Chain A
Amino acid sequence: MPEIQLPASLADVEPVRSVRTPAQLDYTFTAGDATTRFLKGITQKKIIGQQANPDSRVYVPARGADPELGAATPIEVEVAQVGTVTSFCVVNLQFYGSGMEIPYTSALIMLDGADLSIMHLIQEIPADQVRIGMRVEAVWRDDADIEPTLESIKWFRPTGEPDDVNVRIPGEIRGTGLGSWVGGVAPTELTVRNPRTGEGGTAEFGGEG
């Protein structure tokens, strides 16, 4: 670091080395069309997904666009309130602002009828017994407390059904999403079938080749 020449008036005082510059920005977040539809469904204790056409993937929660097709998702689809755990993690840290008792489990849950996992809590089972393939169901708040928020579902709990041993990892069928990476192979234009044109893709990634 270069030698700094200070004026005499500052030669013998404790130098400032850091400064706090806190800043707060206030916004009014608007949910837009797709998220508003999803959250209004929640107030009726329905889980509503969207899709671009009757044959394309069902996104829950939807953002209004199908990232495979680059198309709007005008069709609303109610999906099941039961699904399969496709991945999970056990949280052993107390995060600021979280009232959760640790350890607890956050999981990706593929609801029956959906093509995208939602992330939610798993409760009513010890954390060390949660597993991929486990069947779970939504547990809603009391009706009086239902609001347009995903927190209206308190958590998911085991249904007691047998595990789905053929658990469908998101995207596996069409070679997209988490499943594409199973086996340690990254998705590329060569290995993945193009969902718009139907071209390309090796067999394990949904193509013919």
Chain B
Amino acid sequence: MRDIAVISFAQTPARRSVPELNEVEMLMPAVHDALTQVDMTIDDIGFTCSGSTDYLAGTAFSFVSTLDAVGPWPPIQESHVEMDGAWALYEAWVKLQLGEIDTALVYAYAKSSPGDLPMVLTRQLDPITVGPLWADSVSLAALQARSLIDSGKATEADMAEVVARSRKDALNNPKAQLAWDRSAEDHLATDYHIAPLRKGDCPPITDGAAAIVLAAGDVARSKVKRPAWIRGIDHRVDPIHLGLRDLTVSESTRIAAEKAGVADGKVDIAELHAPFSHQELILKEAIGLGDDVAINPSGGALAANAMMTAGLIRIGEVATRISNGEADRGVAHATSGPCLQQNLVTVLEGDA
């Protein structure tokens, strides 16, 4: 395996709505920032890969026009996934492993504000037996939360602790959309939104973008003092039908974490892409994280959840903390689909 590292990370401020910018206008600052941090231009990049979905804003093939943000001329090597940008990063990592190139740019973006996001997301469900019911993403997450509570593995109070800690940690994240210091008890005193979920258990709807630059070996070392090396990365998927899954566990995450080698060393921090509070508890168990691991110091997806982007941001948040010396080894998790359907786990590490 080649040594591949995250050498820069940038994100736009997460906001409920960014009407004054189209998608490429919103994305450009993140791409420029990520490249500028390491004194690079698109001409220094061997491969560009992006993650987004056109359903969010209802603009077909928007991913083609957002490519304008990077200056893709003469024609560059590029690709796109209709998945979270973490999967675009995986594709770029594979391309780097082939050894033909030494650098890659990965970006992701979402404008969810033009549409009715929970309803838009119903289009990812089975189109014949589930899609026509318009079972929105929050309702499906609530079914999962109830399963978890019924199983005795977690309580609403446990979920409330996740909510309170995440939003409080987000106070230290200048890019966060929701951040406050309110107790778990205050959260439990609020009304149900879609029971057993309260509004606070749910992620915000976010417009935003993020970008990461990857580099191999000596190129990475020449660009940054402490590259965040990708020591393991793996992704897995659970069945599309919720009925075929035990919703209280995330088997695909468990296997991805095992294959990525999470258990091969001490984990200092973990950024888990858990859009709903109870999902952090499921993921923590699936990945095998102990209570000594700092989970979601950025505030996680409860603080900002740009679709197709929040997973890539988890990788960036871990990499940043490794590069600045806050952590030596960390785990980043990304998810897509209803109730943690698809999961990707990355293990990042800094040199001693």
Contact = CB atoms under 8 A, between A and B. Distances in A.
> Does A touch B (CB under 8 Å) in the complex?
yes
B84 to A, nearest CB: 21
A194 B43 contact: yes
Contact of A21 (B28, B42, B127): B127
A189 B143 CA distance: 52
B24 A63 contact: yes
A31 B59 CA distance: 11
- From A66, A67, A71, residue with most partner B Cβ within 10 Å: A67
B174 interface: no
B115 A70 contact: no
Contact of A64 (B24, B57, B67, B132): B24
B43 A25 contact: no
A60 to B, nearest CB: 15
A30 interface: yes
Interface string A71-82: 110000000000
A33 interface: yes
A25 B31 contact: no
Contacts of A66: 68, 71
B19 interface: yes
A21 B58 contact: no
Interface stretch (B116-124, B160-168, B306-314): B116-124
Given A21-B131, A65-B28, A33 B20 contact: yes
| Contact-size category for A | 35 or more
Interface in A56-112: 63-72
B67 A67 contact: yes
B335 to A, nearest CB: 23
B114 interface: yes
A176 B72 CA distance: 11
Given A31-B22, A65-B28, A70-B69, A200 B119 contact: no
Given A26-B116, A64-B22, A70-B68, 12 more contacts: A23-B131, A33-B21, A63-B65, A64-B24, A64-B25, A67-B71, A67-B73, A71-B28, A188-B75, A189-B74, A194-B73, A197-B43
28 contacts: A19-B128, A21-B127, A23-B123, A25-B55, A25-B58, A25-B116, A25-B119, A26-B116, A29-B114, A32-B20, A35-B22, A63-B65, A64-B21, A64-B24, A64-B28, A66-B68, A67-B71, A70-B32, A70-B71, A71-B71, A72-B28, A176-B73, A189-B74, A189-B75, A194-B43, A194-B73, A195-B73, A200-B74
Interface of B: 19-26, 28, 31-32, 41-43, 55, 57-59, 65, 67-75, 113-116, 119-120, 123, 127-128, 131-132
